[in-house]
Amino acid sequence: MLQILSQHTHYLEEYLAVLGHEATQEQLRWYSELGGAPMIILCTMPRAEDSFSRLNKHLSVGAAIQNMLLAATAEGLGACNVTFSFWVRDEMAEALGIPEDRSIVALIVLGYPTDEPPVAPPKSGDIAEYLD
């Protein structure tokens, strides 16, 4: 699975070229081992023929992912939603035996963070300005 995921950076060569060599190498390393996370949750959804149903299914999966990320954080875990490149989703589905009637949406990498999470900046006053 990691070998397949690391291939997706090939499709992002133009974007990675903007980042520079060091950032490109970091991206290749991260995707080849998914940050060293001991657990990966694969998120799928039933395939939908029409765009309205597909959109609703994507929104539902997104809400479920958000809840999983919040729950993981509350338990002191590090979690990252990886909406990995769709260029390799068919290879991933085949390698993992995902049924034809389901579509891969995202991966969640889950583990214990090696660094302390950054402290959020202090909240400022109103961020809206009302004009008459």
Q: Which sequence spans correspond to the domains of the chain?
A: 2-111
Q: What is the mean pLDDT of each run of 10 residues along the chain (132 residues)?
A: 57 65 74 82 92 95 96 91 76 90 91 78 75 80
Instruction: Specify the residue for token string 């085949």.
Output: 94
Q: Cα 33 vs. chain centroid, distance in angstroms?
A: 14
Q: Is beta strand 78-82 parallel, antiparallel or unpaired with respect to 102-111?
A: antiparallel
The CATH class, in words, for 2-111 is alpha beta
DSSP 8-state assignment for residue 39: E
pTM: predicted TM-score of the whole model, two decimal places: 0.69
Query: What is the reported pLDDT for 127?
Result: 73
8 Å CB contact between 46 and 56: no
Query: What is the reported pLDDT for 52?
Result: 95
Q: Which two tokens stand for residue 119?
A: 């402290």
Query: What is the reported pLDDT for 2?
Result: 58
Q: How far is it, in rounded angstroms, from Cα 69 to Cα 107?
A: 11
Query: What is the reported pLDDT for 16?
Result: 64
